[in-house]
Structure 1
Amino acid sequence: MNPAAAVAGAQSAAVVPSASASATTASKAAQPARPLLRHVHYENLVAGMAGGVLSTLALHPLDLVKIRFAVNDGLALRPRYNGILHCLATIWKHEGLRGLYLGVTPNMWGAGASWGLYFFFYNAIKAYKTEDKVESLGATEHLVSAAEAGVMTLCITNPIWVTKTRLVLQYEAGIDSSKRQYQGMFDALIKIYKYEGIRGLYKGFVPGLFGTSHGALQFMAYEELKSKYNRYRNRPSDLKLSTLEYISMAALSKIFAVSATYPYQVVRARLQDQHNKYSGVVDVIQRTWRKEGVHGFYKGIVPNIIRVTPACCITFVVYEKVSQTLLGFKKND
């Protein structure tokens, strides 16, 4: 055999895999890179904010009542109320409409930001987890996704909730404006930071972390109810529902979540209250249990359910309709 031919043959053989490897590399390089923020949609943020703001405007007085009941630990300075209607009538009589809407500004900011960010993060996380998967997410995956979204949202919004609680608990503000400790949301933020530092703005953060279980349970129940309802009706699991169906799913999921997690809201409100001092979460739990028993951890739950159930329905229906509209526009462009 001619040595020169053998060498040439070997060289040509070596060239073939090299060319093949180059082609593979080139084809991989030719594939468009997936954008990092491909699952992030501002439409979810806008729709969630719209739902949160509208529901807050409609039902803020009941939120105020819930907080006043939740912190009612027997201090002499606190007003005495015999029930929801008596509380609303008393505030209206002594403080007028303005009294019923104490703290509404941070509540609107907080609810709008919280719902907007929650839907924003939740849908992005869920989309990442469902990418390249044939089956839809299960209950546990929905639960974890919602919990992750809740923690991210709380890190951003906790200072707003502290200011809302402080403003709502200015009992004499409607009678004598000179007795106000805080003149508004931004005044409260500045004063809390000035006198209590970052720690003051993040009071209630730890029970708030436990509170992410509330949103996680609610979103898990909401997703599972929608999916199982569609399967029961022999429809695709992700089919869009009617307004009444969205209202039903939202109400049932909210009542379930509130019943399971309400005590953390009492602990959080008491930590944020400027009229009493606690050393931490354990101190609140111990003192509440010692003085008020189990009942103490469920103070304000009735006005809370009366408020949050329609609020949740408004929020979810507005979110679903606005997001569908915005995403529809985007798809058509």
Structure 2
Amino acid sequence: MSPAPNHGTGHTRETELSSKPHVRRIFSHVKLENLLAGLSGGVVSTLVLHPLDLVKIRFAVSDGLELRPKYSGILHCMKSVWQKEGLRGLYQGVTPNVWGAGTSWGLYFFFYSAIKGYTKEGRHAELSAAEHLVSAAEAGILTLTITNPIWVTKTRLVLQYNADSTSKQYKGMVDALVKIYRHEGVPGLYKGFVPGLFGTSHGALQFMAYEELKRDYNKYKKVPSDVKLNALEYITMAALSKIFAVVTTYPYQVVRARLQDQHNRYSGVIDVIRRTWRNEGIYGFYKGIIPNVIRVTPACCITFVVYENVSRFLLGQNK
């Protein structure tokens, strides 16, 4: 009689038993403090800098449609919105933006710290740049899957122009979520998801650069890699890593914003790319990059400084 069947069954049972501690080890690196710290940083930075996000999106979708207001620059856009709609106009779409940014940053740090901790488990050596990149990309995909509907509502609310009363179809974030789901179904809530997946490379490149800069800087100072830096040092690392990521990956944001725009219809990512290239050339893929850099660089600095300090405080409290 062949022992193979018994051997196979035993192997399966051993695999099942060994997978349980494997899962437990992953969850042992999950820390609620990272979620709360990331959420705090995302909310603070979004509340301060939302008007620049509104400007960035309006420039990103400026494809020549008559209904769109015409702006000559960042200040002109902000001044025009202020004159027509006041402070409320500059903060149009802020609710989903706060929810989206807070949730995204919170989940991103939450997943990233857990994945990074699991990858590093049992090792004395630091993670490589590639491992930081992969950890951040995995965290980004998980985060986007959860938050994409919030970003769709933010884009729709930001693109409700005061001059065009017919486009004022959403009363707020919840109303937008309900109406998008009712009229467009789940696919409507996940418009822009594919370019968003490409956009996870943005976060991955940013976190990789941030980790590498911190490690090299601490190595230069001859101190441990996890030593706490001062606020200015965190700001410098965050700003450099953010600018690097923005310049490298910005076109996906234009593609995503145009897919989510309620005033135009595209059949998919390829259609957006083809029409943007045909009508606007390479410049079309970088529309809104200046207000984006002006917004996201300080936003990232605020987020990282708040995150590093809040997470250290919360984790310190639990020691």
- Normalization by structure 2: what TM-score? 0.91
Question: Where does the alignment leave 5 or more consecutive residues of structure 2 unmatched?
Answer: 1-20
Amino acid aligned to 1:90: S
Q: Mapping of 1:107-122 within 5 angstroms? A: 107-122=97-112
> 1:62-81, aligned counterparts within 5 Å?
62-81=52-71
Query: Deviation of residue 134 (structure 1)?
Result: 1.2
1:301 to 289, 305, 308: 289
Provide the residue aligned with 2:38 in structure 1.
Answer: 48
Q: 1:64 to 1:256 in 2, by over 3 A?
A: same
Q: Quick one: structure 1 residues 168 and 33, their matched pair in 2 at CA, closer, same or farther if it must change by over 3 Å?
A: closer
Query: Which residue of the partner structure matches residue 8 of structure 2?
Result: none
1:267 aligns with 2:266: no
Post-superposition CA distance 1:110-130 (Å, at most 9, x none): 000000000000000000000
Mapped pair 1:86 → 2:79 = no
**Structure-2 residue corresponding to 1:205:** 193
CA distance in 1, matches of 2:155, 2:22: 47
Select between 234-243 and 302-311 the one with higher mean Cα deviation. Answer: 234-243
Contact kept? 2:42, 2:101, Cα under 8 Å: yes
Q: What is the aligned-residue identity percentage?
A: 74
- CA spacing shift, 1:278–1:266, aligned 2, 3 Å: same
SS in 2 for 1:297: helix
Q: Take 2:65 and 2:164, find their aligned partners in 1: how far apart are those partners?
A: 21
What does the per-residue CA deviation read over 1:200-219, in whole Å, with 9 as the maximum and x for residues that have no partner?
Answer: 00000000000000000000
The answer on 1:330 being equivalent to 2:318 is: yes
Deviation at 1:178, TM superposition (A): 8.1
* 1:33 CA displacement: 10
CA contact (8 A) 2:55 2:77 kept: yes
Question: 2:122: which partner in 1?
Answer: 132
Distance of 1:73 and 1:200 partners within structure 2? 21
Structure 2 CA distance for aligned equivalents of residues 82 and 278 of structure 1: 26
Return the alpha-carbon distance in structure 1 between the equivalents of residues 295 and 167 of structure 2. Answer: 29
Q: Name the counterpart of 1:288.
A: 276
What is the RMSD computed on CA atoms of the aligned residues? Answer: 1.4
Does the C-alpha gap of structure 1 residues 176 and 269 become closer, same or farther in structure 2, counting only changes over 3 Å? closer
- Aligned residue runs from structure 1 range 1-333, under 5 A: 35-36=24-25, 37-172=27-162, 180-331=168-319
Structure 1 residues 127 and 292, CA, compared in 2 at 3 Å: closer, same or farther? Answer: same
Q: Give 1:160 shift.
A: 0.1
* SS of equivalent residue, structure 2 residue 222: coil
**d(CA) in 2 for partners of 1:188 and 1:72?**
22
Q: Please state how far the C-alpha of 1:35 moved relative to its aligned partner.
A: 4.2
SS of aligned partner of 1:163? helix
TM-score normalized by structure 1?
0.88
Q: CA deviation at 1:238?
A: 1.6
The Cα of 1:176 is off from its aligned counterpart by 8.3
In 2, the alpha carbon distance for the partners of 1:209 and 1:34 equals 26
Listed as ranges, the gaps of 5+ residues in structure 1 are: 1-31
CA shift, 1:177, in A, is 7.3
Q: Which runs of 4+ in 1 moved over 6 A?
A: 175-178
Q: Note closer, same or farther for the CA distance 1:33–1:125 as it changes in structure 2 (3 Å cut).
A: closer
> Which has the higher mean CA deviation after the structures are superposed, 233-242 or 175-184?
175-184
Shift of 1:290: 0.2
Deviation at 1:191, TM superposition (A): 0.2
Q: Distance in 2 between matches of 1:147 and 1:280?
A: 23
Counterpart CA distance in 2 for 1:114 and 1:150 is 9
**Deviation sequence 1:164-184 (CA, Å, 0-9, x none):** 000000001xx6878620000
Amino acid at match of 2:88: R
3-state DSSP class of the match of 2:250? Answer: helix
Aligned pairs, how many? 298
Question: Shift of residue 234 of structure 1?
Answer: 1.1
Aligned partner of residue 132 in structure 1, secondary structure: coil
